[in-house]
């Protein structure tokens, strides 16, 4: 595969196509925050005394929602957006897509396990759920929904999963606790994790924030992305699509806020209100990136994020094996020691640059990890 030139990278998406550029840029924007962008912002916050910025780059311990809580559901949402486009070729012959879907599911699961220590063979200390595992599960079920359901069926399924999950938590208690106990120690989701999942948990002691039952609403997040992808492929004027995305985003935020009064926003449980708040912000970001890049034509700035987005899984896995902060310290440690409080900012910026240069090299050489 020939290496794409920088100019081709920002101009290749044909008019009317929502694929390639804006989706890859948005995916790259999302991945930027967990590949060093978060640490850069926290270093800036410490240097400048911007406590409000630091607040938004630390997950809430239980209830609440900050910017950093959007990163994972946005990625799952983007996985859904792509599915109606990537699976369109299988219309009328869905069984032909099964090997592809199964292969991607298995590869993502295995990569996730390797990322959490599978090759160390210390299974008692290994974490079995994880980010890539959740993406794999959401991809599997959402892809099957795209193959076998129309848009209305997908919407009904997404709503049914959210309401069914709500009902499950509302009426089925964990042993020793009352029904609808959403505390860290008393929720049903954590109890099922403790009952069925061996090894370690993350990111609270009573269960895993990517555990078993919370996959149910996470699939809904992916399906909401599927519906967004379906909307983008419709034969409508581009600005009509943008208006629809904005209205849907505002409506999702309103629903999420209203629902949060009886079903709190809890990322660790992936509650329905959390799903709707995250979907609302995801829809508004889709509208913004679509308008800026595909409609307004402001494409040059997107190259930075496209490079990340085209190898999102690569950098997520690679940074577990390549110590980019140490690379930054090797080249910039001396200068950082001379600039006082700005030193951590410089080192964080260097780590971001090291990751991006690595990805840019892969991009220019046409090397992409496809699963």
Predicted pLDDT of residue 18: 41
Output the pLDDT for position 320: 86
Give the per-residue pLDDT at 327. Answer: 97
pLDDT score recorded for residue 20: 56
pLDDT at 2: 37
Spatial contact of 305 and 29, defined as CB atoms under 8 Å apart: yes
User: CA-to-CA distance for 119 and 51, rounded, in angstroms?
Assistant: 40
Q: What secondary structure letter does DSSP report for 63?
A: B
Low-confidence residues of the chain, pLDDT below 50?
A: 1-19
Task: Note the pLDDT of residue 80.
Answer: 97
The rounded distance, in Å, linking the Cα atoms of 57 and 316 is 18
pLDDT tens digits along 82-109: 999 999 999 989 999 999 999 999 999 9
User: In terms of Cα–Cα distance, which of 136, 28, 152, 13 is closest to 85?
Assistant: 13
What contacts 187, CB < 8 A, 6 or more positions away?
A: 169, 174, 177, 181, 206, 207, 269
pLDDT of residue 371: 67
Check the CA dihedral 198-200-206-209 and report its sign: negative
Q: Model-level pTM greater than 0.95?
A: no
Q: What integer pLDDT is reported at residue 4 of this predicted model?
A: 42
Predicted pLDDT of residue 45? 96
């Amino acid at each position: 595969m020939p290496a794409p030139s920088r100019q081709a990278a920002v101009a290749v998406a044909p008019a009317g196509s929502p694929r390639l550029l804006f989706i890859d840029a948005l995916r790259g924007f999302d991945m930027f925050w967990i590949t060093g962008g978060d640490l850069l912002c926290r270093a800036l916050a410490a240097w400048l005394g911007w406590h409000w910025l630091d607040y938004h780059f630390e997950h809430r311990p239980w209830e609440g929602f900050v910017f950093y809580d959007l990163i994972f559901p946005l990625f799952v949402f983007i996985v859904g957006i792509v599915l109606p486009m990537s699976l369109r070729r299988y219309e009328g012959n869905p069984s032909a897509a099964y090997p592809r879907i199964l292969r991607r599911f298995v590869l993502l699961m295995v990569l996730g396990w390797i990322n959490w220590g599978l090759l160390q063979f210390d299974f008692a200390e290994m974490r079995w759920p994880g980010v890539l595992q959740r993406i794999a599960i959401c991809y599997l079920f959402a892809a099957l929904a795209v193959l076998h359901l129309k848009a209305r069926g997908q919407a009904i399924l997404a709503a049914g999963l959210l309401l069914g999950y709500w009902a499950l938590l509302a009426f089925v208690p964990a042993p020793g606790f009352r029904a609808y106990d959403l505390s860290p120690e008393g929720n049903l989701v954590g109890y099922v994790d403790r009952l069925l999942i061996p090894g370690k948990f993350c990111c609270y002691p009573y269960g895993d924030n990517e555990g078993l039952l919370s996959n149910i609403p996470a699939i809904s997040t992916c399906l909401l992305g599927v519906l967004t992808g379906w909307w983008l492929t419709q034969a409508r004027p581009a600005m009509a699509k943008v208006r629809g995305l904005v209205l849907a985003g505002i409506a999702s935020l309103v629903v999420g806020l209203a629902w949060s009064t009886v079903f709190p926003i809890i990322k660790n449980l992936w509650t329905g209100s959390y799903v709707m708040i995250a979907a609302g912000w995801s829809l508004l970001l889709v509208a913004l990136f679509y308008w800026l890049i595909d409609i307004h034509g402001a494409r040059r700035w997107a190259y930075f994020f496209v490079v990340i987005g085209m190898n999102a899984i690569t950098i997520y896995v690679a940074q577990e094996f390549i110590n980019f902060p140490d690379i930054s310290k090797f080249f910039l440690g001396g200068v950082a020691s001379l600039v006082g409080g700005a030193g951590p900012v410089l080192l964080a910026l260097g780590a971001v640059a090291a990751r991006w240069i690595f990805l840019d090299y892969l991009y220019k050489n046409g090397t992409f990890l496809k699963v």
